[in-house]
Structure 1
Amino acid sequence: MYFNLIPVQLGNPYLQFGSTLLFFPLAFYISKWVGLDGLKGLGMVFHPGWKKNFFISFLIGFGFWMVMFGIQFYVGDLEFVGVHGPVNVIMPVVEVFVGYLVGSLINDLIVRGYVVNILKDKIHIVWVFIISILIYALDDYWYAGFSISNSIFSIILGLSLTLAYYKTGSIWADTGLHYGLNIAYGLFYGLVGNSGSALFIVKETGHETAFSNLLNYIIPALMFIFVLWALKYYSSSNTLSKDNKITFSH
């Protein structure tokens, strides 16, 4: 509600960015008010290995989404037109990298950090996963509109993001995945609502096949399997409850 009532309504991009950053003190005080430990209580814990978690996850998210775009180019769903000139692209690319970092982090702090930590000791963790993933899907619906396809896509993707958060106990593995796939998207489409901020110029051909439609499910599903395998390389902050565990085989 905050983002749709304030930043989205501001026309000046600097005011939008400044009001977006106000989220962090707002989140700090609200989380304190409900009994969590500020931003730390939402998973922003700078524990040993947090940079490694972020980097591993970034490579996974970016890599799988680049594979998806590569397949779309190969089968003819997308057509490569060109690259924006360096003079015209420097600031837009900076906007993509900064905007998606802040956006990914904020979404993860709310949808996973807040939800998981406020509910993990009250209900079984499986229900926590379900609630978090459904909120993530509804958040996508808020911005992208409803479709069965988008909802299934969000649910599958949300499973990887929620698992990465829960198993590490901090935001960084989750945000790395989210940021990586957003950056891959941003290279071709720019920031949401601002295609001029993309690095590459691409055209959707309208050529769709059954495989093209399934690709939106296959890639996030494969990424989930890969995240399951990669869990052994992540570092844990050990901040989540040890009494309400959910286990997955690798």
Structure 2
Amino acid sequence: MHSAHSHAPSAASVDSPVVSRPLGVRLLWMGVGFAVMDVYLNVPNFVQLAPVAWLGLYAAFFPLAHAVGRWTGAGGLGALGLAPHRGWARNLGLGFVFCSALWALKYVVLWALGAFQIEGARPAGEISGLVLQAALAMLLSSATDDVLVRGYLVRHLSGVLSAGALVAFTTFVYVINHAWYVHLTLESSLYLGLLGVMFSLALVRTGSLWLSIGLHWGGNVVYRLYDGFDAQGGVLRRVMLPEAPWHEGVKLAMTALTLAALFLLFRFTEKSEREGPLFARG
């Protein structure tokens, strides 16, 4: 099983000045940079954008993150977890297949237990368009979120916090950051918390974002194929039955099962050869 290094990275292994600044200054710059990128990513919550403009805005996030990362002393996109390494594509693909399969299983279980009925499928032309839109849009959405909430924060804090503390902190930020567009309830916070732990563990275990992005991407694609965009519906025509209290329990249980199964997936993933802050200590 591939695992992260257990020692704290030395200054010699870091290719940016992030570790040479006083801690208070580092945290200040980290916070300012995070705020800039976070507000940028949430522009669609306040301004109505056409799909092409939305995709362009998210694609432009990557040069912004590169610039902000260098400006705050964390380094560019490679230092934030997007540097290619041996097995990076394998990690991305494994994460996508793993999470999409388990998310599909979750919806099959909900259907089998009577959460909804299936009346048919959308026309083939609409399905192909939805698949393409879901694949591209969710790749950008997943990758931007992982760079911001995990790669950027872990890069700044891994010389300060242990691996467990990094997972806890980035998970907390991930949950709270959904308040931009999700009404946080106990159930939704637990669900997001399980996801946050899963994505953060993928980063600290492999030393890069590729596995995390694959997991995130796979789950989001299946969700969009199930639910569609802007209440337009997914690939199947569904009739939702009255909501039962156990529905949320099933969703949480399947997400927890996915998190537990992740430790088996780690046996088949590759660890980045890159030494430095994306390998958390402890």
TM-score (norm. length: structure 1): 0.90
Deviation at 1:233, TM superposition (A): 1.2
Equivalent of 2:220, from 178, 182, 188? 182
Q: Does residue 1:114 correspond to 2:155, yes or no? A: no
Partner of 1:70: 108
- Does the aligned pair in 2 maintain the 1:111–1:135 contact within 8 Å? yes
The 5 A counterparts of 1:202-217 are 202-210=238-246, 212-217=247-252
CA RMSD of aligned residues (A): 1.9
Distance 2:256 2:279 in 1: 28
- Does the aligned pair in 2 maintain the 1:61–1:181 contact within 8 Å? yes
Partner of 2:18: none
Specify whether residues 57 and 88 from structure 1 end up closer, same or farther in structure 2 by C-alpha distance, changes over 3 A only: closer
Specify whether residues 140 and 88 from structure 1 end up closer, same or farther in structure 2 by C-alpha distance, changes over 3 A only: same
Larger Rg: 2
Q: Does residue 1:14 correspond to 2:52, yes or no? A: yes
**Higher relative contact order at CA 8 Å, sep ≥6: structure 1 or structure 2?**
2
CA-to-partner distance for each residue in 1:160-208, whole Å, 9 max, x for gaps?
11001111111110011111111111111113xx232622222221241
Unmatched 5+ stretches in structure 1:
none
CA-to-partner distance for each residue in 1:130-171, whole Å, 9 max, x for gaps?
110011111223222110000011111211110011111111
Secondary structure, counterpart of 1:151 in structure 2:
helix
Distance 1:110 1:44 in 2: 12
Secondary structure, counterpart of 2:85 in structure 1:
coil
Partner of 2:85: 47
Unmatched 5+ stretches in structure 2:
1-38
Calculate percent identity across the aligned residue pairs. 23
In the alignment of these two chains, the number of paired residues is: 243
Deviation at 1:232, TM superposition (A): 1.8
The 5 A counterparts of 1:1-250 are 1-5=39-43, 9-191=47-229, 194-196=230-232, 198-210=234-246, 212-239=247-274, 240-241=276-277, 244-246=280-282
- Does the aligned pair in 1 maintain the 2:154–2:278 contact within 8 Å? no
Secondary structure, counterpart of 2:239 in structure 1:
strand
- Does the aligned pair in 1 maintain the 2:227–2:233 contact within 8 Å? yes
Bigger mean CA deviation after superposition, 123-132 or 26-35: 123-132
- Does the aligned pair in 2 maintain the 1:92–1:196 contact within 8 Å? no
Distance 1:150 1:166 in 2: 24
Secondary structure, counterpart of 1:170 in structure 2:
coil
Distance 2:195 2:120 in 1: 30
Bigger mean CA deviation after superposition, 12-21 or 51-60: 12-21
